[in-house]
Amino acid sequence: MSNILNLLKNPLVIAGIIATAIAIPTAIHNNEEPPQPDFIADLREGFASLEVHFTDESTGNVISWEWDFDSDGTVDSTEQNPSYTYNNPGTYTVSLSVPGEGGPITETKNAYIVVRRAGIGPVQPLEWNAPQASENLTYGPGAVSPPEWDPSQGTANLTHGPGAVSPLELIQPWAEFSAAPRYGNAPLEVQFTGSSTVSSVQWEWDFDDDGMSDSTEQQPVYVYPNPGTYTVSVTVSDVEGNIETKAKTDYIVVLSPPHADFYSSKTYGNKPHEVHFTDNSTGDINYWNWDFDGDGTVDSWEQNPSCTYTEAGKYTVSLSVGEIISSMETKVDYITVLDPRANGGGSGDAGDSGSEESGGGEGPEET
């Protein structure tokens, strides 16, 4: 016993004990790796329309993902490993945001996807008049000038090398379109942009796949009033009667706006007081941020979490939910925790006869 007391009197031993006591909780705390977003794409270059599959390679505790595929500041997907089709040529910056302790953490890859212009629509083969015997037609430098093309013949005379005429491409109408945004809460206003290889064409848009023409403009705007997934098609036609239709299945996704709400199993009791919270929110939701004590810090991301209050007092509880837009419900002084020693002794929760609510609406509070 005296040896142990002597050891405890040693300053080095005391310092070692203190360092170990500090290191143990620190090691436990650091065991949870903070989230760090990262991703890769299976294709980074190609022709429009280019479908790219993105793979999340984030580390740490990641519970939700927000993708921006074209750097327009709009969330294009909340899937973990989404696909996206780039319809227009260009160079695109891609971002992935994940929730962090102090707010969203974003990984941005500049000029990450390169989309090149695709070949245009059907081209009829060229015809050209064979040269007359008196014409010494050759290839390369020194080639004779080609005979002039006669539009009435519907054919073109063609030589190679310097002085060659450009081929005449007879192009059918070719339709393409894009939209922004493609994903959002109702009512969702969408700007459509149509393009064609033929300059003078007529446009017929069907924005909701009901077989009815919704617009004849080339760049129309349409408002989707109701939540749902919509197939969009456009038909172009030229003066010669050539027609082509381009359809994109499930192209527009309209969400139901979120509305936050919750209730608890019991709102009144002695410390330590364990409370089970039940999410009662409506709308399209993919995240839940709970603040159990009104300090502005997210305490849980679970949909239906539990919290144990160890100190007496009144606690304000908030729930923020959403996907693209958010909704918050705050209940001031919602939880009351008592100190049994300050109220004449006793143990356990006061008024804990309440049970978990199984239906909608706010559960009854016990007082």
| Range ranked top by mean pLDDT from 120-134, 187-201, 262-276 | 262-276
Average pLDDT over residues 58-76: 92
Residue 127, pLDDT score: 38
Whether the predicted pLDDT of 358 surpasses 80: no
Containing H/E element for 109?
strand 103-116
Flag whether pLDDT at 115 surpasses 50. yes
Q: Helix 11-30 vs helix 2-9: angle between axes, to the nearest 10 degrees?
A: 80
Give yes or no for residue 19 having a pLDDT over 90: no
Confidence band of 103 (pLDDT split at 50, 70, 90): confident
Q: What is the pLDDT of residue 239?
A: 84
Nearest to 350 by CA among 277, 265, 276, 271: 271
The model's pLDDT over 237-250, given as tens digits with 9 standing for 90+, comes to 988 888 889 999 99
When mean pLDDT is compared across 52-61, 75-84, 156-165, 339-348, the lowest value belongs to 156-165
CATH superfamily ID and name for 175-255: Immunoglobulins (2.60.40.10)
| Average pLDDT of the residues of the chain | 78
Radius of gyration of the chain (CA): 34
Residue 173, judged by CB atoms within 10 A of its CB (0-12, 13-18, 19+), counts as buried
Query: Chain centroid to CA 223: how far?
Result: 20
Options 3.40.50.2300, 1.10.3720.10, 2.160.10.10, 2.60.40.10; which CATH number does 39-116 get? 2.60.40.10
Contacting residues for 223 by C-beta, under 8 A, at least 6 apart:
187, 188, 189, 190
Q: What is the pTM of this model?
A: 0.46
What value, to the nearest 5°, has the Cα angle with vertex 41 and ends 37 and 47? 145
- pLDDT greater at residue 6 or residue 145: 6
Instruction: Specify the fold of 262-343.
Output: Immunoglobulin-like (2.60.40)
Give start-end residues of each CATH 2.60.40.10 domain in the chain: 39-116, 175-255, 262-343
CB contact at 8 A, 35 and 100? yes
Question: What's at 23, amino acid-wise?
Answer: A
Please work out, in degrees rounded to the nearest 5, the angle formed at the alpha carbon of residue 143 by the alpha carbons of 137 and 149.
70
User: Would you state the pLDDT for residue 15?
Assistant: 58
Query: Lowest-confidence range among 179-188, 261-270, 337-346, 353-362?
Result: 353-362
Report the share of the chain in percent with pLDDT over 90: 51
pLDDT band for position 319 (50/70/90)? very high
Measured at the alpha carbon of residue 37, what is the angle toward residues 32 and 43, in degrees to the nearest 5?
145
